[in-house]
Amino acid sequence: MASEPEVIRDKTAMRRWSRSHRSKGKTLAFVPTMGFLHEGHLALVRAAGDLADLTVVSIYVNPGQFAPSEDLDAYPADLRGDLYKLADLGVHAVFCPTNLYDYGEGGGRGDVQARRTEGAIGSSGSPVSCLEAAAGDGSGHETWVRVEKLERGLCGMSRPVFFRGVATIVAKLFNIVEPDIAVFGKKDYQQWRIICRMVRDLDFAVKIIGSEIVREFDGLAMSSRNVRLSPEEREKALSIYNSLSKAKYAALHEQSTCQELRSLVIQLVTEAGGRIDYVEIVEQESLIPVEEIDSPAVICIAAWFGAVRLIDNMEINP
């Protein structure tokens, strides 16, 4: 086994670590995660290891991207297991801050666990995250990064505060870790595209790499949320991968229309017992819905199995 990664909990110490290595000419690759690591995350970490001298992984469940009605409290965690897996891959530093919205005295603590409420609408009338719901006007945090068009469709429809929270926390992490390269999974396709756009639009000096989806032996996309599926739901959830595969085949070999492809996926997942949030076929970069697949597109789906919402996608390159 490689040596243990340095575990850093404080953002100033993280920045110091990063700067001291960069000043010696070392390049740094970064993989942001919310922990409870599985092979999907580890593939990103391996990719990062091949791209730079040093690898940093962050583990932080970000309250700014969860609505009060969502599963922040149920999000699984296993820091000890995560550190063990990361040591095995030769990761150099693991950044696991307690609260990235704690700005110290007078700045508000953003104490999310203690004062979480069920309220989902802020004083401005817009939906709020767990961060604001917990702290009211006292969170001290009021700056949000919005990638205005890309954040609107797909997951943004049913999770209105999600991408604002993701873009903001990734921007904060980039400013703290100061990596040369960051690796994101295409499993969260819209997230990956949003981060690419944010980096381009705001001139972050970070190269973004998109890493392919890692699946279980039978095709289910790996996700930290899969452990919350009952054995029956786990079986039913396989309809996501099976229906996407059939739709991809139909798109490439049967010239099916996008409407037919969507209907096929919706039918197969619904018949299996899933509840569809959305099924969309969109252009790969702009995420704008397409009628016909005559250029690179991606079929994206979100569906509920019991209390667990799963997402997946498949690129189609005609």
Give catalytic status of residue 253 as yes or no: no
Q: How far is the CB of 72 from ligand AMP (least distance, A)?
A: 13
Task: Give the residue among 84, 48, 99, 21 at the shortest CA–CA distance from 208.
Answer: 48
Per rule CB under 6 A, is residue 185 in the interface with ligand AMP? yes
Residues 257 and 291 sit within 8 Å (Cβ to Cβ): yes
Per rule CB under 6 A, is residue 214 in the interface with ligand AMP? yes
Place of tokens 């690179």: 296
Q: How far is the CB of 224 from ligand AMP (least distance, A)?
A: 5
- What letter does residue 213 receive in the DSSP assignment? P
CA–CA dist 51, 144 (Å, integer):
30
Q: What are phi and psi of 302, to 5 degrees?
A: -130, 135
Q: How far is the CB of 195 from ligand AMP (least distance, A)?
A: 9
Q: How far is the CB of 220 from ligand AMP (least distance, A)?
A: 9
Residue of minimal CB distance from ligand AMP? Answer: 185
- What letter does residue 50 receive in the DSSP assignment? H
Per rule CB under 6 A, is residue 128 in the interface with ligand AMP? no
Per rule CB under 6 A, is residue 213 in the interface with ligand AMP? yes
Q: How far is the CB of 291 from ligand AMP (least distance, A)?
A: 28
x-marked contacts with ligand AMP along 6-45 as a string, rule CB under 6 A: ---------------------------xx-----xx-xx-
Q: Which helix (H) or strand (E) holds 131?
A: helix 130-135
Looking at the Cβ atoms of 170 and 247, the one nearer to ligand AMP is 170
Q: How many CB atoms lie within 10 A of CB 118?
A: 7
Q: Which stretch binds ligand AMP (CB under 6 A): 91-99, 181-189, 237-245, 257-265?
A: 181-189
What is the C-alpha R_g of the chain? Answer: 20
CA–CA dist 244, 262 (Å, integer):
9
Per rule CB under 6 A, is residue 280 in the interface with ligand AMP? no
CA–CA dist 108, 124 (Å, integer):
19
Task: Choose which of 221, 251, 269, 308 interacts with ligand AMP (CB under 6 A).
Answer: 221
Place of tokens 């009338």: 125
Q: Which stretch binds ligand AMP (CB under 6 A): 68-76, 133-141, 214-222, 245-253?
A: 214-222
Strand partners of residue 282: 289, 298
CA–CA dist 132, 188 (Å, integer):
24
Looking at the Cβ atoms of 42 and 316, the one nearer to ligand AMP is 42
CA–CA dist 65, 161 (Å, integer):
6
Given the residues 41, 92, 141, 253, the one annotated as active site: 41
CA–CA dist 246, 263 (Å, integer):
12
Q: How far is the CB of 166 from ligand AMP (least distance, A)?
A: 8
Binding site for ligand AMP (CB under 6 A): 33-34, 40-41, 43-44, 184-185, 187-188, 211, 213-214, 221-224
**What are the residue numbers of the active site?**
41
